[in-house]
Structure 1
Amino acid sequence: MPATRTPKQAKEWLAQQGKTVQEFAREHGLDPFTCYQVLSGAKKGQRGESHRAAVLLGIKEGVVADAPDQYGRRKTDIGTVIPK
């Protein structure tokens, strides 16, 4: 994953991929409203689902306990660190 993005850069990243926030949320098992809140800055992504959304959007570095397969998750992993 690239270096940490700003919320604006995360929105542009989604647009470059041709994805809506709804599609991104569905792909990652997130609540779309939470994703919108993280992208708007209403939620900072400190814990819970907003943390997971912020990490997967690249807005912050962190650990996601149930990262998608594209990050190399194995069944034996307890948590996955998603680097810069």
Structure 2
Amino acid sequence: MAKSIEQVKTEFRKQGRSFSDWAKENNFPPELVYRVLKMNRPPIRGESHKIAVKLGIKDDY
């Protein structure tokens, strides 16, 4: 089951991780990661979709 964006943000805060560091570790542009996190709905295709799946806010289908 996919997580909400708020759940992901809470997990990162608890771990003391930044989304920018996560983006660099996973070879994604940090600004695109932030755009995905500010959306009201998970992206459908492309790099944004890959980010959403990797963050756990969208199931991979």
Specify the TM-score bucket, using the shorter chain as the normaliser: 0.7 to 0.9
Q: Are the counterparts in 1 of residues 24 and 30 from structure 2 also a CA contact under 8 Å? A: yes
Q: Are the counterparts in 1 of residues 23 and 33 from structure 2 also a CA contact under 8 Å? A: yes
As a proportion of its length, which structure holds more strand? 1
Which one of the candidate residues 43, 48, 51 is aligned to 2:49? 51
Which one of the candidate residues 18, 26, 29 is aligned to 1:28? 26
Taking structure 2 as the reference length, what is the TM-score of the superposition? 0.85
Unaligned stretches of 5+ residues in structure 1: 64-84
As a proportion of its length, which structure holds more helix? 2
Structure of higher CA gyration radius: 1
Taking structure 1 as the reference length, what is the TM-score of the superposition? 0.64
Kindly report the root-mean-square deviation, in angstroms, between the aligned alpha carbons of the 2 structures. 1.7
Q: Which structure's relative contact order is higher, taking Cα pairs within 8 Å and 6+ residues apart? A: 2
Unaligned stretches of 5+ residues in structure 2: none
